[in-house]
Structure 1
Amino acid sequence: MEPSSSNTGFIQQQPVIKNQFYDDVSYQRVAKLFLPSAILDNITPDVAQIGQEVLSQKVFDWVTDAEHNQPYLRGNGRDSFGRPKSELVVGEGWCKLQDYGFEKGVVALNYDTDHGPYTRLVQFLRCHLWEASCANTLCPAAMQDGAARLLQRHLFSSASKNLTPTQREVFQNAYNHLTSRDPTKTWTSGQWMTERTGGSDVSQTETIATYDPFPYSVSVPQASQSESIPLGPWSISGFKWFSSATDSNMTILLAKTHPSKGVSAFFAPMRRHNPSLVSHTGESGNGTELNGITIQRLKHKFGTQSLPTAELELKGMRGWLIGEEGKGIQEISTILNITRVHTTVSSMGYLGRSLAIARSFALVRPVGMGKGKRIALSSHPLHMRTLANMTVDYHGMMLLTFYTIYALGLDERSLPSPSSTTKVPTPPKELVQPLLRVLSSLHKSYVCETTVPLVYGCMEALGGVGYMQNVESEHLNISRLFRDCCVGAIWEGTTDVLASDTLRALKHPLNGKQSIQALDWLILSSKHTKLREEWQGLKDKIETGKQEELLPEARGLVFRIAEIIISVLYLVDAGANPGIEVQAMCARFMEKKGFSAEGGVGKGSKEGGLRLDQAIVYGPGKEIGQGTKL
């Protein structure tokens, strides 16, 4: 017997995280289910390469730097002589990660590549792999995406006829920057809605916009190039309580123009040219300053610490009205549909990476089984059952998330041709928008709430190591993923806010019946008796109940609808690409939610034993060590 020391004795073998494009069975199934085979074959080399690159040491070093060198205000917002100076400083790691995302087209792909209605699916399959390695740079990218879509609508639809030539020039210039892949030219965007009066209740905004057309032709320098772009005829003043992406180049914000007109949407650049400013070297003529913005202070948050979030005071910020006065909520909803999808995909990305870490750890971690016997965690029946049950929930939410993305793609582009359709239910054209109206709030409220305890479960699966801040082994740092994941159920609308919004959509006096009809179409596409009966009961309750009476039950109602939709999609997946493991996953999910298995779905949680659980966690036919092949 030899005593252990700091360098001798048992030292745990380092887990190796595999490329999730191939290793994540749920990811593979979703890609195969939603994408036509020709498109999947076409994108595989590129997306697989991203899956490998995001696990590189270079990327993890950038993540560590972004977390360690967090954003700050130089001089706490003042220069050496006490003069106010809002200069935000972000770390090199943050900038490198953001540039990588630009170059990979995490936003641009949806605007410069055409896969028809599947373009959004391709975009978010890439984002899913990038989420856990991007150190929150996909947050400003989400708002960049939403702003690009909003400006695209105004530039290239019937609404474009309402633009003045100058306004068109300004919007087109911003759109070009938002959709660029060149890091020296790409813009991100803010989305300023939240004020002290209420997080999601934007009707109480205290930001005021006044039409004041002179002077508004001050040029705006961007990146390394100076562009003579008018700042806008509206002067905007107020206080914004949360502004993520404070280092962005532009913003979309809400403000009131008149007490009786409600809130309006505005576009504004973040910076403007001021030739009177003198640099610290004494040079003049090239000075820049924030566009009527003072960064009051940066927020100190539980998670997303690499992301600069601030309180902003606006005084005479120059901007452009988007759409009509008083129609700001309708305009901003275009952005919210997209940023909420990004938020859900981020939650799924954190969970997917956490499960990848837990799977890899289980392969190399030996544990005792009594009487001196030791086995890998990957062969421990209880541990495998735990990971298998988590995988069942993960796959169900992947189906719900990517079905919502599929609906988003159908709304933005034409319906697929019959020869290229996927195996999932494709709604008729008239039901696409009503279906998306419900799914846009429903998917985020359900997924972002449900992923938090599952990511924690992955942290627990590593024991004490999972609870550590593993910056020296960043690829294992689930504690960072857990902290960042927690915000998903809060920003872009809390769970209760979104559940209330879903109920409002279903009870809307003009469009509510269409939304119910869309859910009716989707759920009744399944022949499963219990699902149809459960939906019928919920539908009767929603149609006959008063909105104020149903409101206390909104979360339960919305979550139950989500579970029904997931079950429908699980049945579609199990039928489209059958296998013992996916049939068992489908049965387990439905049993857990109180739906009996029908139609040859397969056995549930009481059948199959260790080998089936291993197949659910690692995939059929995979090598899991010790000579075991599933």
Structure 2
Amino acid sequence: MEPSSSNTGFFQQQPVIKNQFHDDVSLQRITRLFLPRAVLDQISSEAAQLGDEVLTQQVFDWVTDAERNLPYLRGSGRDAFGKPKAELVVTAGWRKLQDFGFQKGVVALNYDSDYGPYNRLVQFIRCHLWEASCANTLCPAAMQDGAARLLQRHLSKKTGLSPTERRVFQNAFDHLTSRDPARAWTSGQWMTERTGGSDVSQTETVATYDPYPDSGSTPLADVDENIPLGPWSISGFKWFSSATDSQMAILLAKTEPSKGVSAFLAPMRRHNPSLVSANGTVGGSELNGVTIQRLKTKLGTQSLPTAELELHNMRAWLIGAEGEGIHEISTILTITRVHTTVSSVGYLGRGLAIARSFAAVREAGAGRGRRIPLSAHPLHMRTLADLTVDYHALMLLTYYTVHLLGLSEHPPPSSTSSNRISVPVPTPPAPLITPLLRTLSSLHKSHVCQHAIPLVYGCMESLGGVGYLVNEESQHVNVARLFRDACVGAIWEGTTDVLAGDTLRAMKHAQYGKESVRAVEWFVSEGLAVVRDRGRAGKGMKDGGEGVRREWTKLKKRVEEGRQAELLPEARGIVFRLAEVLIAVLYMVDAAVHPGAEIEEMCRRYLVKKGFLGEQEGQGRKDLAMDQVIVYGAGKAPVKEAAAGSKL
């Protein structure tokens, strides 16, 4: 026997992460369930190419650079002579990853492609592949996307904008939707203040209408594009502002106290003709009334520059009417919440990819001197199978919400007829799209982002001690980074409790609450009808459907008969249970329209776990072979026999 040393003895074989567009069984099922065959055929080649590119060593080197060399303020916010100079410095890796995202159209695709109501699905499938490799550059991209949609909505109206406002908005929209890294912009979304995170009504930022005397004296935000600064002067303090390196921001501020909170578009920089650069050049660009007070130090998302900002005479343009800021910002929040949820399942999907690849090359003791791969270890495979069942549940809820978002942006031609959408998922008639999306836009994020965190942790744990290490030298298996970053999903864009309360209010709202409840009722009934009409006539599926219907009936009665103040303390439980009802319906639809032993068993396990089906009613297969098929897909398990392996 020879002793080991630092350079001799056993070394673990490196896991190889496969292209997730092909290897992720859940993602494969999602694409088939939500996209028509013709669209899927169109996008598959580019999506598969992206799936390869996000796993290249070049991309992982950029991630390491962005994570190791964090953003900072040059000179701690001062020049050599002590004068304030808030100059943010980000690493080359961060810029390269951001440029990669621009070129791949992670935002632009929704605005320059012609997949109609499927634009959003195609876009977010690409974001799903990119998320775990982007080092958080998809965070400013999410706000970029929301700002683009908000401006698009205003530009589509024939009235309401002056010629100058239309030119400013169009210029910003063109930058936000560009694929050219030299031209593309991201956007900040500045709402949070010290008075409260999600309670924007208490904002202390003030906007004053203070136009320049005449057009000839209006300073410019950009000389080359001749874009003037806005007529509103904004001053205040923003406590938590991501995308600090963006080129513009959408922010909230109070105008007259009686008019409430309003929304504004502000360029991040402005032209100063008297500015003198270090080499003596006169004229240049400076921050538009913004002082970066300090950068935040966070548990995760460390590569993302997040700052406290002091605003003094920041020039801006009003978006919409005064006092309608919360309504305007809701357009952005609907989109950024979807981005956040997709990021959560993106981290989880990559975590499972790492766990699968590790299980294929790592051996464990199996008694009496035998060693077997973890991919053939019954307990390990059961654990990964349970994670996979829950992952697919979150994927179904996430991408159904994306489906609704796409329909809302590309509504059907008739207000009464059902959409002629050639996919098997329940697609609501036009009048129900908005109320159903209104309910799901908060619900899906509160449920998915909260439940993804322990699942990503489970992936990290499946690697043992090496999973807990920040493996920047082997970035492709750095699941600790994914877990650290995934933790923010349940916090920003509305915490779990805030969004659970929002969902409850949507269903109890005096004006549109009944519509929201009716939309959910339609979904449950239509989904179970699809299962009945297209599914196999198995007793387990029938009993599961009856269990789901009973649970929804109880929830509906509880929501309709309870007073909002009484229900609010229970909002998280109510909303999570409603999410499980929706997921159960989608799971059964998936199993009915694309049947197979593994999806039927996954559906059964979910129904039993969530109490829609009794263990005896839903007897299925709980063996190693089935667990392997759930984890790896049919015929893809690295080792099929538990007896495989070598003796010591």
Query: CA shift at 1:141, angstroms?
Result: 0.2
Q: Residue 188 of structure 2 corresponds to which residue in structure 1?
A: 190
Q: Residue 606 of structure 2 corresponds to which residue in structure 1?
A: 589
Query: For 1:350-389, what aligned pairs fall within 5 Å after superposition?
Result: 350-389=347-386
Secondary structure class of the residue paired with 1:118: helix
The 1-side partners of 2:516 and 2:29 are apart by 28
Unaligned runs of 5+ in 1: none
> Which residue of 205, 208, 230 corresponds with 2:206?
208
CA contact (8 A) 1:233 1:320 kept: yes
Q: Residue 108 of structure 1 corresponds to which residue in structure 2?
A: 108
Query: For 1:522-537, what aligned pairs fall within 5 Å after superposition?
Result: 522-525=523-526, 526=528, 528-537=545-554
> Which residue of 283, 290, 295 corresponds with 2:292?
295
Unaligned runs of 5+ in 2: 530-544, 643-648
Task: Output one character per residue of 1:330-370: Cα deviation in whole Å (capped at 9) or x when no partner.
Answer: 00000000000000000000000000000000000010011
Distance 1:14 1:572, change over 3 A: same
Q: Which amino acid aligns with 1:341?
A: V
Q: Which amino acid aligns with 1:300?
A: T
Q: Which amino acid aligns with 2:612?
A: F
CA contact (8 A) 1:574 1:601 kept: no
Query: CA shift at 1:97, angstroms?
Result: 0.2
Task: Output one character per residue of 1:375-416: Cα deviation in whole Å (capped at 9) or x when no partner.
Answer: 000000000000000000000100000000000000000339
Q: Which amino acid aligns with 2:555?
A: L
Q: Residue 325 of structure 2 corresponds to which residue in structure 1?
A: 328
The 2-side partners of 1:117 and 1:406 are apart by 8
CA contact (8 A) 2:70 2:302 kept: yes
Secondary structure class of the residue paired with 1:268: strand
Q: Residue 138 of structure 2 corresponds to which residue in structure 1?
A: 138
CA contact (8 A) 1:242 1:311 kept: yes
Q: Residue 543 of structure 1 corresponds to which residue in structure 2?
A: 560
Secondary structure class of the residue paired with 2:282: coil
CA contact (8 A) 2:244 2:305 kept: yes
CA contact (8 A) 2:235 2:310 kept: yes
Task: Output one character per residue of 1:275-312: Cα deviation in whole Å (capped at 9) or x when no partner.
Answer: 11111111112x11100000000000000000000000
> Which residue of 623, 635, 638 corresponds with 1:621?
635
Q: Residue 496 of structure 1 corresponds to which residue in structure 2?
A: 497
Query: CA shift at 1:601, angstroms?
Result: 10
Q: Residue 59 of structure 1 corresponds to which residue in structure 2?
A: 59
Q: Which amino acid aligns with 1:251?
A: A
CA contact (8 A) 1:584 1:602 kept: no
Query: For 1:448-527, what aligned pairs fall within 5 Å after superposition?
Result: 448-525=449-526, 526=528
Query: CA shift at 1:4, angstroms?
Result: 1.1
Distance 1:595 1:150, change over 3 A: same
Query: CA shift at 1:227, angstroms?
Result: 1.9
Q: Which amino acid aligns with 2:604?
A: A
Q: Which amino acid aligns with 1:351?
A: L
The 2-side partners of 1:387 and 1:564 are apart by 23
The 2-side partners of 1:609 and 1:178 are apart by 51
Q: How many residues align?
A: 619
The 2-side partners of 1:602 and 1:230 are apart by 66
CA contact (8 A) 2:263 2:329 kept: yes
The 2-side partners of 1:562 and 1:625 are apart by 36
Q: Which amino acid aligns with 2:466?
A: V
CA contact (8 A) 1:218 1:228 kept: no
Query: For 1:557-572, what aligned pairs fall within 5 Å after superposition?
Result: 557-572=574-589
Q: Which amino acid aligns with 1:620?
A: A
Secondary structure class of the residue paired with 2:228: coil
Distance 1:152 1:556, change over 3 A: same
The 1-side partners of 2:333 and 2:500 are apart by 15
The 1-side partners of 2:619 and 2:61 are apart by 45
Query: CA shift at 1:75, angstroms?
Result: 0.4
The 1-side partners of 2:309 and 2:139 are apart by 18
Q: Which amino acid aligns with 2:509?
A: H
Secondary structure class of the residue paired with 1:274: strand
Query: CA shift at 1:220, angstroms?
Result: 2.1
Query: CA shift at 1:8, angstroms?
Result: 1.5
Q: Residue 150 of structure 1 corresponds to which residue in structure 2?
A: 150
2:623 is equivalent to residue 609 of structure 1: yes
Q: Which amino acid aligns with 1:464?
A: G
Q: Which amino acid aligns with 2:6?
A: S
Query: CA shift at 1:603, angstroms?
Result: 4.0
CA contact (8 A) 1:584 1:603 kept: no
The 2-side partners of 1:379 and 1:545 are apart by 50
| Runs of 4+ displaced beyond 6 Å | 416-419
Query: CA shift at 1:226, angstroms?
Result: 2.5
Query: CA shift at 1:418, angstroms?
Result: 6.6
CA contact (8 A) 1:393 1:589 kept: yes
TM-score, normalised to structure 1, is 0.96
The 2-side partners of 1:430 and 1:439 are apart by 15
Task: Output one character per residue of 1:36-78: Cα deviation in whole Å (capped at 9) or x when no partner.
Answer: 0000011000000000000000000000000011100000000
Q: Residue 281 of structure 1 corresponds to which residue in structure 2?
A: 279
CA contact (8 A) 2:294 2:308 kept: yes
> Which residue of 230, 239, 242 corresponds with 1:241?
239
The 2-side partners of 1:422 and 1:579 are apart by 18
CA contact (8 A) 1:116 1:414 kept: no
